[in-house]
Amino acid sequence: MEEGDLSESLLPLEELAEEEKLSCRLWAESKKLWIVAGPAIFMRFSTMGVLVTTQAIVGHVGPTELAGYALAFTVFDRFAVSILLGMASALETLCGQAYGAKQHHMLGIYLQRSWLILFGCVILLLPIFLYATPLLRLLGQEESISKAAGTISLWFIPIIFSHIFNFTFQMYLQSQSRNMVVTYFAVISVALHLFLSWLLVFKLSMGVAGAMSSMILAMWIPVFGQFAFVIGGGCPETWKGFSWSAFTDLWIVVKLSLSSGAMICLELWYNTVLVLLTGYMKDAETAIDALSICLNISGWEIMISVGFLAAAGVRVANELGAGNAKAAKFSIIVVVATSLAIGVVLLAVFLGLKGSIGYIFTDSREVADAIGDLSTLLAFTILLNSVQPVLSGVAVGAGWQSLVAYVNIASYYLIGIPLGIVLGYVIDYQVKGIWIGMMVGTLIQTVVLTLITWRMDWDKQVELAQERVNKWFLPETEKSNLG
């Protein structure tokens, strides 16, 4: 055989070897991705299931109660959740990069520091729940809806305290790919919530009080379970007991928590502003009911993307902490492609469902028809939401929270909301106009984050991660324990 013929015959073998190598890398990365994303998605589905089940049950109590729940949930609870979740997401950067750098002892210390910071934050947030009715009146909402929302807001107080531990435990456990335990407790909480809601609301006729009592218990069950798992020896490498070190060097966590909080808050408050704007429209009760239900349906889907957000944050933080720039880039490609593929499938599903989905949440024909009218916009919002949160997860893993906060301000508050106001009120597209503005803002944010991620110097990001390791983790020493 001639030398040229031999080289030509070897070429397909080399290409085949490269294909096999790539497929092995894809399989290995996908396994790492789903170890974090699978439990995170299921847990968030379960949490969202508790919230949306409660909304569906309250909706069958009455339209005013449904509108009151929608305002209490979307305006006040989501406001608090955005702050707490945003500040807790600092643990994704801190714990993820510490775990990648093999500074395992620091994960438990950062967990305790985050508890202290978030507890103080909840205390500062309490007045908005205590004075929800006058706040809504001040914002110009209808009197009957404001009263109902004020009563329901008081029931959310125990729930926001549970978020302190739920959010931080989730970040802590998923950074070390040990979050499967969260799934087990989520299953228990959802099952119990469904049973208790049926018993208290439909059998014992307790109405809103029955639905909210069941919801509180469902939110606290995972907290007690995760406490028992971690403190009982489930994470021996990263939990060394309660430590006085949790009370020192808090500024590092506070600073990153504030930038993380700003990034998440600017995203989640976007929906809150939309609901408030809807409250000023003609037939506000129907409009609020329809929009809040559509946002919660979108919220169900976005739980998948938020699961991938968690996976992206963990994988990027772990690889940057370990000094692997190429592995971090490969992780980003795999997680974005996976989430986008799921988004395309869900787009087709929701386009097919159209107006029939509204009757799951309400007996009102007017509200169900309004939901059907928004269904096409809802379907394309779901597609956008399959990419945008994942890119935010990349930002969390790399520690770019401040940069993303500026992107959110420009895309949401300088473009999306003003455009929604013009389309909704000036051009009189009503709720559709507000939603189109929301979609345009989300689209712009997605494009900008894609460009930032694509053009980022990942070798430089590894250097920055190593600087953080030296600054944040290595100087720490364990101090005397409390117990």
Q: Is residue 2 part of a domain?
A: no
Q: Is residue 187 part of a domain?
A: yes
User: For residues 69 and 212, is the Cβ–Cβ distance under 8 A?
Assistant: no
pLDDT at 263: 66
Q: Is residue 171 part of a domain?
A: yes
Q: Is residue 377 part of a domain?
A: yes
pLDDT at 126: 92
89: domain range? 35-473
What is the value of pTM for the model shown?
0.71
Angstrom distance (rounded) from CA 128 to CA 132: 6
Q: Which residue carries 């589905």 as its tokens?
A: 45
* Domain count within the chain: 1
Q: Is residue 20 part of a domain?
A: no
The single-letter DSSP state of residue 281 is S
Q: Is residue 13 part of a domain?
A: no
Angstrom distance (rounded) from CA 262 to CA 281: 29
Taking CB atoms within 8 Å and a gap of at least 24, the contacts of 348-351 are: 350/297, 350/301, 350/375, 350/378, 350/379, 350/382, 351/375, 351/376, 351/379
pLDDT at 5: 52
The pair phi, psi for residue 476, each rounded to 5°, is: -75, 140
Q: Is residue 11 part of a domain?
A: no
Q: Is residue 316 part of a domain?
A: yes
Angstrom distance (rounded) from CA 332 to CA 391: 8
Angstrom distance (rounded) from CA 284 to CA 277: 10
Mean pLDDT by runs of 10 across the 483 residues of the chain is 48 55 80 81 77 77 76 77 78 77 81 89 91 84 81 90 90 82 84 87 82 89 90 85 77 70 67 66 66 72 77 80 81 87 84 69 72 77 82 75 79 86 82 83 88 83 70 47 39
Angstrom distance (rounded) from CA 362 to CA 292: 12
